[in-house]
Amino acid sequence: MALPARFHGVVPPVVTPLTTDYRVDYGSFTAVIEHLLAGGVHGLFILGSTSEVVFHDEATRRAILEHAVKVVNGRAPILAGTIDPTTDRVIGHARAAKAIGVDAMVVTAPFYTRTSQPEVVDHFRYVREAVDAPIIAYDIPVCVHTKLERATIVTLAREGAIAGVKDSSGDEGGFRYLLSDLADRPEVFLMTGAELTVDGILLAGAHGVVPGLGNVDPHAYVRLYAAARRGDWAQARKEQDRLSRLFEIVRVSLPRTSAGSAGVGGFKTAMRRLGIIQTNIMARPQRSLNDEESARVEAILRDVGLV
Amino acid sequence: MALPARFHGVVPPVVTPLTTDYRVDYGSFTAVIEHLLAGGVHGLFILGSTSEVVFHDEATRRAILEHAVKVVNGRAPILAGTIDPTTDRVIGHARAAKAIGVDAMVVTAPFYTRTSQPEVVDHFRYVREAVDAPIIAYDIPVCVHTKLERATIVTLAREGAIAGVKDSSGDEGGFRYLLSDLADRPEVFLMTGAELTVDGILLAGAHGVVPGLGNVDPHAYVRLYAAARRGDWAQARKEQDRLSRLFEIVRVSLPRTSAGSAGVGGFKTAMRRLGIIQTNIMARPQRSLNDEESARVEAILRDVGLV
Amino acid sequence: MALPARFHGVVPPVVTPLTTDYRVDYGSFTAVIEHLLAGGVHGLFILGSTSEVVFHDEATRRAILEHAVKVVNGRAPILAGTIDPTTDRVIGHARAAKAIGVDAMVVTAPFYTRTSQPEVVDHFRYVREAVDAPIIAYDIPVCVHTKLERATIVTLAREGAIAGVKDSSGDEGGFRYLLSDLADRPEVFLMTGAELTVDGILLAGAHGVVPGLGNVDPHAYVRLYAAARRGDWAQARKEQDRLSRLFEIVRVSLPRTSAGSAGVGGFKTAMRRLGIIQTNIMARPQRSLNDEESARVEAILRDVGLV
Amino acid sequence: MALPARFHGVVPPVVTPLTTDYRVDYGSFTAVIEHLLAGGVHGLFILGSTSEVVFHDEATRRAILEHAVKVVNGRAPILAGTIDPTTDRVIGHARAAKAIGVDAMVVTAPFYTRTSQPEVVDHFRYVREAVDAPIIAYDIPVCVHTKLERATIVTLAREGAIAGVKDSSGDEGGFRYLLSDLADRPEVFLMTGAELTVDGILLAGAHGVVPGLGNVDPHAYVRLYAAARRGDWAQARKEQDRLSRLFEIVRVSLPRTSAGSAGVGGFKTAMRRLGIIQTNIMARPQRSLNDEESARVEAILRDVGLV
């Protein structure tokens, strides 16, 4: 099953704001969604890594998706992450997501368990057989510790088990081979999770981009994407260079916090400063940015003109 | 909170038998537990990696634990794995396990998310604060991709946040330092997850052993442990050498299957041949051993005298 | 010490042809150099990884450099790899290279030994102190197993210890930060070792490119570079897409050979077919491509119009 | 070709003392050798990782070996490391070592270059064909980044290409399989490079031990080995536990220095304090222990009764 034809462009993985006692702050969550739609994004990826998906249990995930579907109300397509270690748990999440009414599910390789590439292929097939909805393969070896090999993706795409890819592998040469290997299958939606090299990846022909940093400045990624579409590569690069400066917010708490806390924590801290969300709280055991780090985030926002 | 004084010795991670349609086969599960208790084991670790814990959702985990508690009925202490990617989900599992009545919870570092060592320390503290039960730290970097550092474990043990360790890191020198660092804290229960070097690790002073292979031949690990306790190291080595030959069952399906499938799949295939369980089915997307591989498992069982 | 002002553009790492008894085939080596110069390349990198540098002992390396300097005779700048595990051995190679008359030395982090980032900084400083010549830092973690961190490179570049970077790390976002961090130091020469994403990296502002595949088709990389310089990004991408198809030659012998043998072996096999060199022999213990694999290389050459 | 029958027991990798200007201090080197022989060791491993072998060029390595052979003068067998990235360079070192008169060569898998396991097998065969001397396979993936697989070692041992193994892989279960796989080949000499688990590995049947820490306290490893030989495992463990406390010297400079500097640097600092060598200088770019760290080494020496 292919994705709806309207899929393309900038599809940010949506931050999940939390209250000071670690519950989802649904008021702020609504504000994030409205902020992104106002920024012109072409779709929303709910329950991705940037959404702290693996910190949420089954019930909370359903509540988050229901809220998102209600708020978006058809204004943009919704991809839903169904990320958990193994096949049948993913199927459980995917069935719930389908019942709630999202447009596609985003699925990683299994993790914690040690899995071979043929077993990874079977994993995606099992999910697809169980849930009649488009499946996006999410390649994120930094979290999953398994790379989706080129042959795995091409096999799954050609047999229709997957409708697209979100590539957060950092292997841009490999992503480029996916674009050429599947050039005769334009219905397969190939997105990059890169934040720093989007201009070059769009030059190579990527169909979409899923930037965590898009939570902070969706307009800029939309401008970058538009410049690329009209072939204005000098402008695309200019937008990218500014966004790369903004991306420094993901490093201000290192090494006091982990890289995970630093990244999404940097986004949340910027979004709090911009008045979009109420706290910069990270799900446990992650650490939130402190006041000094928040001031450094503010300085970066000021440098790129967001404050 | 320390473990009950009775904790020591051989504590196998208990295999979870499945039916051909991937549900838990509770009849076979009862038989596995009776087989282990008849083998003289000193405790049971339910919902460990060997139990395919991450393949089971919240409800199934509760059902497995309830069944185990009912069958064991106080005849041996029960450790319950509460393994999932992040803190509050682990707390959810741990609360359920405590309500069901297990003796201790086994907790890994967070996974999927990228976490620093100070965040790992906080993770164990949060779990311990939330659940009034002994916590065993489970060090298994091959699955979690984070090593529990020596300082992390010693800090947590000295402040009482953890009551013991299951070391499946393969770092036997590091485990030895835990034994000496915590020599003044005999209430901290230090177990190895090794299967092939148990004689040497008991010589070094380990308090317990958690061998997956113990599902197949619990008597032999109990004999090995008894020999070590009475200082008969020549006999301990002899038992170990035989068990190492038996352990070859974990490799017969390589490379057709992943290492994960091959290991627990080898155990299940041997247990089926020994009449303990009904199938050798592995949770999806793992692959089960085929007939030819099962014949090779049988040959190994014959070689060590189990058939 | 900065590089000569003329440095820029396409600087291939030059293949070292061998005879059937594993000696350097100097006749073919001359032909390779003439082929590259005829292709319009802007410089030559002798004794890089693609040159099988670590397969050659001290005396052979000197002979190779002497030959290259004599053949090139000032027609293009020469970078010389001085790659060996530790500082003083690198200094030994670098002194020899300087005496022979190359334009710059290319130096990796230490390998085999386990080294910290501050020790890596010292390593480059010691080499620079010992040899009065421009030093290019070569970031190739797939071989060295240490990444040159952003701060390491920026520190060394700002204090003048290095005159440039060859980035073969695959971290294109990180390389982009080098370009912006050192934007005020145009004399620092920042090259990518990528072969598949050169268009995007030139769009980002890279000063040069060091493609192993340039041994096979130097003209195409020169055309790609020229298109980028004049801002014709559609043409740059077109050249890149064709080169990516050609790059498939590095995979035809997998998994019969290692990735190392497959890559340079693919280049050598193509160059033999194109009549540039006499054999496709790889230094021991690497494996050379066999007849069936050579036929597949030829088919790829035909596909892109080189045969 | 097998090793001389006399091979067994404790074979320390001999530290190479340096002067303050980074040259070999041959006077101190003589003292180290005499210290080890006086300690009762059964052999010497010159030019191992602990000897900082990869920091020395071809000429220096020859001088070191010539000095060692002259000083030892037949009082103990000498193993010579011939460690460099690739086959023909290793052969060059091995021929020089044979001419100098050592008893065996110690060879790692190739490094820097990416190599497959069949190519690793060929590597050892090529070295053995070129040099008529016993070859010890050295498995040290922390430096080489390739593991010698069980099948690789067994194949090479059975065909006579290698006469033994030094296992520094940390995979003690895997080493145990080598002992059983080659139990019918007692002429194959199987040594562990472990320092912290020697009692358990000797219980498992290892033929020898190559402890870097043996440079500091050779007597203790000789006592441990003797206790193991007579079956006094309680005493063996006691010696091991004391040596593990002594081994803390390898951590005192972390994280100011790399792990490499910290380890051999700890040995050198202890040996200087014990009056065996003149400096604790490490080859560049490693860092030597400073005064404060040296005082902590002294405190550890005092704790175990060496000062």
Q: Does B150 touch chain A (CB under 8 A)?
A: no
Q: B234-247 in b/e burial notation, b at 16+ Cβ within 10 A?
A: ebbbebbbbbbebb
Nearest neighbour of C180 by CB, restricted to A172, A233, A241 = A241
Say yes or no for a CB contact (<8 Å) between A203 and C233.
yes
SS3 assignment, position B182: coil
Amino acid in position B261: S
Q: How far apart are CA B154 and CA A18, in angstroms?
A: 32
Q: Residues in chain B, how many? A: 307
d(CA A205, CA D125): 48
> pLDDT class for B5, splitting at 50, 70, 90?
low
CA distance C295 to C286: 19
Per-residue b/e over C226-247, b at no fewer than 16 CB within 10 Å? bbbeeeebebbbebbbbbbebb
* Residue C173 in contact with partner chain A when CB distance is under 8 A: yes
Look at residues B257, B242, B251, B286 and name the one whose alpha carbon lies nearest to residue B270. Answer: B251
- D295 — contact with chain C (CB < 8 Å)? no
* pLDDT, tens digit, 9 for 90 and up, residues B25-42: 999 999 999 999 999 999
The tens digit of pLDDT for each residue in B243-263 reads: 999 999 999 999 999 999 999
The nearest CA of chain D is from the CA of B238 a distance in Å of: 9
Q: Nearest-CA residue of chain A relative to B126? A: A285
User: Does the beta-carbon distance from B200 to D204 stay under 8 Å?
Assistant: yes
The per-residue pLDDT for C6 is 57
The domain limits of chain C are 9-231
Fold of B9-231: TIM Barrel (3.20.20)
- Give the pair of three-digit tokens for residue D94: 């091995």
List chains touching B (3+ CB pairs under 8 A): A, D
B233, two tokens: 């190291």
- Residues C238-250 have a mean pLDDT of 98
Residue, of C266 and B8, whose pLDDT is higher = C266
- Residue among D54, D142, D259 minimizing CB distance to C86: D54
The model's confidence at residue B2, banded by pLDDT at 50, 70 and 90, is low
The yes-or-no verdict on residue A5 having pLDDT over 80 is no
Amino acid at C241: D
Nearest CA in chain A to B120: A285
pLDDT score at D270: 98
A–B interface: beta-carbon pairs under 8 A: 139
Chains B vs D: touching, with 3+ CB pairs under 8 Å? yes
Distances (CA, A) of A11 to A2, A6, A36, A44, A76: 17, 12, 9, 5, 10
Within 10 A of B103 (CB to CB), how many other CB atoms are there? 21
Dihedral-angle region of residue C253 (phi above 0 means left; psi in -120 to 50 means alpha; beta otherwise): alpha
Ramachandran region, residue A47 (left: φ > 0; alpha: ψ -120 to 50; beta: rest): left
Cα separations in angstroms, B171 against B109, B141, B148, D194, D196: 17, 10, 11, 11, 10
Question: If you measure CA to CA, which chain D residue comes closest to C85?
Answer: D54
Res A4: pLDDT:
62
What pLDDT digit, counting tens, does each position of A7-23 carry?
Answer: 789 999 999 999 999 99
For chain B, positions 176-205, list CB contacts with chain D under 8 A.
176-177, 180, 194-197, 199-201, 203-205
Chain A residues whose CB is inside 8 A of the B57 CB are 58, 88-89, 92
Q: Which residues pair with C139 in a beta bridge?
A: C167
Mutate one of B149, B258, B290 to test the A interface: name it (highest A CB count within 10 A): B258
pLDDT of B8 reads: 86
- D236 neighbourhood in chain B, CB within 8 Å: 203
Nearest residue, CB atoms, B196 vs list D173, D237, D241: D173
Instruction: Please report the pLDDT score of residue B3 as a whole number.
Output: 64
Asked if C241 has any chain D CB less than 8 Å from its own CB, the reply is no
Task: Tell me the shortest Cα–Cα distance from B9 to chain D, in angstroms.
Answer: 18
Q: Does D111 lie at the interface with C, CB-CB under 8 angstroms?
A: yes
Task: Say how many C-beta atoms besides its own lie within 10 A of residue C40's C-beta.
Answer: 16
CA nearest to B236 within chain D: D203
Single pTM value for the model: 0.97
Question: For A69-122, what is each residue's pLDDT tens digit?
Answer: 999 999 999 999 999 999 999 999 999 999 999 999 999 999 999 999 999 999
Q: What angle do CA C29, D87, D25 make, to 5 degrees?
A: 110
pLDDT band at A6 (very low <50, low <70, confident <90, very high): low
In this prediction, residue D3 carries a pLDDT of 64
Q: How far apart are CA C22 and CA C55, in angstroms?
A: 10
Asked if chain B contacts chain C via 3 or more Cβ pairs within 8 Å, the reply is no
As a whole number of angstroms, the distance between CA A206 and CA A193 comes to 11
What residue in D sits closest to B232 (Cα-Cα)?
A: D233
In chain B, which residues have their Cβ closer than 8 Å to the Cβ of D304?
none
pLDDT for C8 equals 85
Please, which residues have CB within 8 angstroms of residue C22's CB and are 6 or more apart in sequence?
Answer: C281, C283, C284, D88
Give dist(CA D10, CA A98) in Å, integer: 66
> What are the beta bridge partners of residue D208?
D9, D191
Q: Apex CA D97: angle with CA D186 and CA C17, to 5°?
A: 105
**DSSP assignment string, B104-153:** EEEEEPP-SS---HHHHHHHHHHHHHH--S-EEEEE-HHHHS----HHHH
- By the 8 A CB rule, do B86 and A283 touch? yes
Q: How far is CA C155 from the centre of its chain?
A: 23
Please report residues of C whose CB lies closer than 8 A to that of A237: 203-205
Q: Which residue of C170, C194, C200 is in closest CB contact with A199?
A: C200
Q: Give A22 to chain B, closest Cα distance, Å.
A: 9
Q: Rounded CA gap, D1 and C306, in Å? A: 51
C-alpha span between A81 and D267 (Å, rounded): 52
- pLDDT for C293: 98
How close is the nearest chain A Cα to the Cα of B280, in Å? 17
Instruction: Identify from C150, C176, C237 which residue to disrupt to test chain A contact, counting A C-beta atoms within 10 A and taking the largest count.
Output: C176
Residues listed for chain A: 307
Q: How far is CA A284 from CA B86, B121, B125, D15, D162, in A?
A: 7, 11, 11, 47, 53
Instruction: Tell me the average pLDDT of chain A.
Output: 96
Is C54 strand, coil or helix? helix
Q: What is the pLDDT along chain D (307 residues), one digit of tens a residue?
A: 566 665 789 999 999 999 999 999 999 999 999 999 999 999 999 999 999 999 999 999 999 999 999 999 999 999 999 999 999 999 999 999 999 999 999 999 999 999 999 999 999 999 999 999 999 999 999 999 999 999 999 999 999 999 999 999 999 999 999 999 999 998 999 999 999 999 999 999 999 999 999 999 999 999 999 999 999 999 999 999 999 999 999 999 999 999 999 999 999 999 999 999 999 999 999 999 999 999 999 999 999 999 9
Q: Is residue A96 within 8 Å of A68, Cβ to Cβ?
A: no
Alpha-carbon distance C81 to C104, whole Å? 9
CA gap C87, B171 in Å, rounded: 31
The closest of C91, C89, C16, C6 to C48, measured between CA atoms, is C16
Residue range C143-153: mean pLDDT, rounded:
98
DSSP string, C124-151: HHHHHHH--S-EEEEE-HHHHS----HH
Residue C196's nearest CA partner among A176, A198, A209, A201 is A176
Place of tokens 């463990």: D237
Kindly tell me whether chain A and chain C come into contact, counting contact as 3+ Cβ pairs under 8 Å. Answer: yes
Query: From its phi and psi, is residue C125 left (phi > 0), alpha (psi between -120 and 50) or beta?
Result: alpha
Contact C200 A173 (CB under 8 A): no
Q: Is the pLDDT of residue C285 over 80?
A: yes
Q: Do C285 and D120 touch (CB under 8 A)?
A: yes
Report pLDDT digits (tens) over B125-148. Answer: 999 999 999 999 999 999 999 999
Higher local confidence (pLDDT), A5 or B216? B216
Chain D residue closest to B199 (CA)? D200
Alpha-carbon distance of B187 to B210, in angstroms, equals: 18
Does residue D145 sit at the B interface (CB-CB below 8 Å)? no
Please report, as a single letter, which amino acid is at residue B161.
A
Which one of D24, D58, D112 would you mutate to disrupt binding with C, by most C Cβ within 10 Å of its Cβ? D112
Nearest-10 crossing angle of helices D87-100, D58-72 = 30
Q: Which residue in chain C has the smallest CA separation from D254?
A: C116
Q: Report phi then psi at A171, rounded to 5.
A: -95, 85
Sheet-wide strand order for D189-192: D9-10, D208-209, D189-192, D164-167, D135-139, D104-108, D78-81, D44-46
- What residues in B contact A260, CB-CB < 8 Å? 113-115
Contacts of C176 in chain A (CB under 8 A): 196-197, 244
Q: Sorting pLDDT into bands at 50, 70 and 90, what band is C304? A: very high
The answer to whether the Cβ–Cβ distance between B57 and A114 falls below 8 Å is no
Q: CB A58 to CB B55 under 8 A? A: no
pLDDT per residue as tens digits for the range A283-296 = 999 999 999 999 99
d(CA C50, CA C21): 19
The residue of chain C with its CA nearest to that of A181 is C245
